[in-house]
Amino acid sequence: MSDEFEHKLEAKSDYAGDASSVSTPDIDAVPDAELPDQELYHSHSWWTTYVFSQDAKYIGIQYALTAIGTGLLGLVLSWLMRIQLAWPGLGWLEPSSYYQFVTMHGMIMVVYLLTALFLGGFGNLLIPLMCGARDMAFPYVNMLSYWAFVVAVVVLLASFFVPGGPTGAGWTLYPPQAITAGTPGYNGGIILMLISLILFVAGFTMGGLNYIITVLQLRARGMTLMRLPLTIWGIFTATVLAMFAFPALLVGCLMMTLDSLLGTSFFMPAMVSLGETLTHEGGSPILFQHLFWFFGHPEVYIVALPAFGIVSDLLSVHSRKTIFGYRMMVWAIVGIGALSFFVWAHHMYVSGMNPWFGFFFATTTLIIAVPTAIKVYNWILTLWRGNIVLSLPMLFSLGFIVTFLNGGLTGLFLGNVTVDVPLSDTYFVVAHFHMVMGIAPILVVFGAIYHWYPLVTGRMMNETLGKVHFWITFIGSYAIYFPMHYQGFVGVPRRYFEIYDSPYIDVSTLLLNKFITIAVLIVGAAQLLFLYNLFASARLGKKAEKNPWKANSLEWQTPQMPPEHGNWGKELPKVYRWPYDFSVPGAKEDYIPQTQPPSEIIGAKVEKT
């Protein structure tokens, strides 16, 4: 890419080798600044500093805390559901509450926790810092984005308090049942859910424009796209996906809102409900499924791609190794992102669509396995002969690789139409997607929090508590989801609020249900340990030294840690290399920060980037 610069560098370092450490300013040449320094908004009051903050770092923390808070509710809902499944005799939940909890758990975890945390939280925190910018391109719009998200969450939670409660339609919200009598919350909760999603999309669009423009237009001098950390590539590509996938959700939500409130029939066929013929006629329920999954499948990668990116960086830093195949990693992220728009109907094999469609979508689905496999191999090869330190981020990253591989392999089963049809709507599907887009990204979230916590607070999180947290979470997740695969194979259907004594269902599954529930309760409790660690360490944690992990990327090279408003003090950083120069032969230290000029490391055999 920056060929000219590299040739210059090569020629100069050869020359310098002969004439013994004579540094000429030319080696350190970086292109001139194209733009004047960004003017920042300086807050004057407590309100504009901490509440309506226009500083991306604060917004990131706000996003993260709101998302984690909402996610905690999702966790509690999963407890309640599991207790019902394990001991149906207790009469713990009404069937309607069970469906409402399933729905809210799913929607909260996918959209309001993972999407908001990865893109809103880590995106805001890391994009300006890792790109070497002072802030996002549009700080004011960024602030609006967060507050739109807050309103969306409030509207979502308000649905618990309307008559009829939240919607119980399942997180996919399929019409006609979502808005037909018989489904919990069919005339109150569902409307709030749809409005909340519309608000979320609006808020996200404002944030997403910021992330994209910041990555494309606000990079530091010397920071080419191919020198960006993979974290940024993951978040950036996921944001692009979101910008093109959320419109389908928005349109679907809008149309269903009209169906429910105005009595239109976009998705509603002629139906008899409770003995009465409804006024709806001639709509297409399949249309909603297409709209939903055109959003829904890219959504999987909106969650997964930032996780891929972050885990690549964690693995590289904590094994002191160059990431293996950086360019392939980038192209795999971009390729997966592009392909994710052509696979949506693999969620609809049993919807009654044309079988040729299934054939096409099975093919595209299996093609996605190629770039994904490249990534997994590259992670493993990054670890190969690395100096693996079993720090918390590394533990969680290793956990991620195993879990993602596991969930990915079951994805190959479900991607094939013929295998999917008998497995569809069983616990096998539940186990698959919880492994691949629940546990795997959440493990990365934890790893990333342990990794970047010193950057935010200036203190380290407690290592012992973290290790307890990791082992309980990691082993516990397998205790939860491995049995579910088996349950799915023997045919236990999902979304049943009670698996009663049926001749078709083996009694072993009932026992397993109890086992799973106990595991869920323990794993959930371990998350409370994590939360304690998260909040207590801000006060009690050991003071972090600057750049505690000895990482290369720009966010650790700020003059202060935690970075101040404007991030970089007087002068913006200059970037001379990619962020993966670890254990370079000939270098004094085992890491070379991106900001270290070539003249300071003459003799080191750095990769040309």
Partner 1 sequence: MSDSSLDNLPKGWKSVPSDLGSDQTAFKGVQWGKAMMWIFLLSDTFIFSCFLISYMKGRASTVVDWPNTSHVFSLDFMGVPVPLLLIAIMTFVLITSSGTMALAVKYGYEKNRKMCGHLILATAIGGLIFVGMQAFEWSKLIHEGVRPWSNPFGAGQFGSYFFMITGFHGTHVSIGVIFLFIFARKVYRGDFDTGRRGFFTTMKSDYVSIEILGLYWHFVDLVWVFIFAFFYLW
Residue 141 CB, nearest approach to partner 1 (Å): 8
Q: Of the candidates 77, 241, 248, 323, which one interacts with partner 1 according to CB under 8 A?
A: 248
Task: Decide the pairing of beta strands 272-273 and 276-277.
Answer: antiparallel
Q: Select from 32-40, 477-485, 504-512, 601-609 the region that touches partner 1 (CB under 8 A).
A: 32-40
Q: Of the candidates 15, 47, 50, 140, which one interacts with partner 1 according to CB under 8 A?
A: 140
- String marking each residue 528-567 x if it binds partner 1 according to CB under 8 A: ----------------------------------------
Residues 6+ apart with CB under 8 A from 507: 501
Q: Collapse the DSSP code of 588 into the 3-class scheme (helix H, G, I; strand E, B; otherwise coil) and give the result.
A: coil
Of residues 287 and 388, the one with the C-beta less far from partner 1? 287
Q: Would you say the C-alpha torsion 51, 52, 58, 63 has a positive or negative sign? A: positive
By CB under 8 A, tell whether 220 contacts partner 1: yes
By CB under 8 A, tell whether 602 contacts partner 1: no
Residue 581 CB, nearest approach to partner 1 (Å): 17
Q: Give the containing element (helix H, strand E) for 277.
A: strand 276-277
Q: How far is CA 150 from the centre of its chain?
A: 18
By CB under 8 A, tell whether 518 contacts partner 1: no
Helices marked H in 262-341: 285-318, 326-339
Q: Of the candidates 270, 350, 373, 412, which one interacts with partner 1 according to CB under 8 A?
A: 270
| Rounded Cα distance, 493 and 496, in Å | 7
- String marking each residue 35-54 x if it binds partner 1 according to CB under 8 A: x---x-x-------------
Question: Under a CB-based contact definition with an 8 Å cutoff, are residues 134 and 40 in contact?
Answer: yes
By CB under 8 A, tell whether 225 contacts partner 1: yes
Q: Select from 84-92, 101-109, 212-220, 300-308 the region that touches partner 1 (CB under 8 A).
A: 212-220
Residue 202 CB, nearest approach to partner 1 (Å): 11
Closest CA to 323 of 558, 119, 552: 552
Of residues 68 and 241, the one with the C-beta less far from partner 1? 241
| Burial of residue 263 (number of CB atoms within 10 Å: 0-12, 13-18, 19+) | exposed
Residues 6+ apart with CB under 8 A from 428: 410, 413, 414, 484, 485, 487, 488, 489
CB atoms inside a 10 Å sphere around CB 536: 13
Q: Of the candidates 139, 207, 407, 411, which one interacts with partner 1 according to CB under 8 A?
A: 139
By CB under 8 A, tell whether 291 contacts partner 1: yes
By CB under 8 A, tell whether 376 contacts partner 1: no
Q: Of the candidates 79, 92, 160, 244, which one interacts with partner 1 according to CB under 8 A?
A: 244
By CB under 8 A, tell whether 380 contacts partner 1: no
Q: Select from 71-79, 108-116, 160-168, 288-296 the region that touches partner 1 (CB under 8 A).
A: 288-296
Residue 55 CB, nearest approach to partner 1 (Å): 14
Count interface residues toward partner 1 (CB under 8 A).
57
* Cα within 13 Å of Cα(469), Cβ side: 25
| Rounded Cα distance, 259 and 35, in Å | 50
Residue 219 CB, nearest approach to partner 1 (Å): 5
- Token pair 């939940």 in the structure block, residue: 93
Of residues 287 and 381, the one with the C-beta less far from partner 1? 287
Residue 594 CB, nearest approach to partner 1 (Å): 12
Q: Select from 31-39, 300-308, 351-359, 509-517 the region that touches partner 1 (CB under 8 A).
A: 31-39
Of residues 133 and 606, the one with the C-beta less far from partner 1? 133
By CB under 8 A, tell whether 417 contacts partner 1: no
For residue 273, the cross-strand partners are 276
Residue 221 CB, nearest approach to partner 1 (Å): 6
By CB under 8 A, tell whether 258 contacts partner 1: yes
Which residue pairs from 489-496 have beta carbons closer than 8 angstroms and sit at least 24 positions apart in sequence?
A: 489/423, 489/426, 489/428, 491/426, 492/426, 492/427, 493/425, 493/426, 493/427, 494/425, 494/426, 494/427, 494/429, 494/430, 495/99, 495/102, 495/170, 495/425
* Cα within 13 Å of Cα(461), Cβ side: 25
Q: Select from 29-37, 156-164, 169-177, 426-434 the region that touches partner 1 (CB under 8 A).
A: 29-37
By CB under 8 A, tell whether 223 contacts partner 1: yes
Question: Under a CB-based contact definition with an 8 Å cutoff, are residues 494 and 172 in contact?
Answer: no
By CB under 8 A, tell whether 388 contacts partner 1: no
Q: Collapse the DSSP code of 604 into the 3-class scheme (helix H, G, I; strand E, B; otherwise coil) and give the result.
A: coil
| Rounded Cα distance, 121 and 452, in Å | 12
Binding site for partner 1 (CB under 8 A): 1-2, 30-31, 33-35, 39, 41, 137-140, 205, 208-209, 212-213, 216-227, 243-244, 246-248, 250-252, 254-255, 258, 262-266, 270, 279, 281-284, 287, 290-291, 294, 575
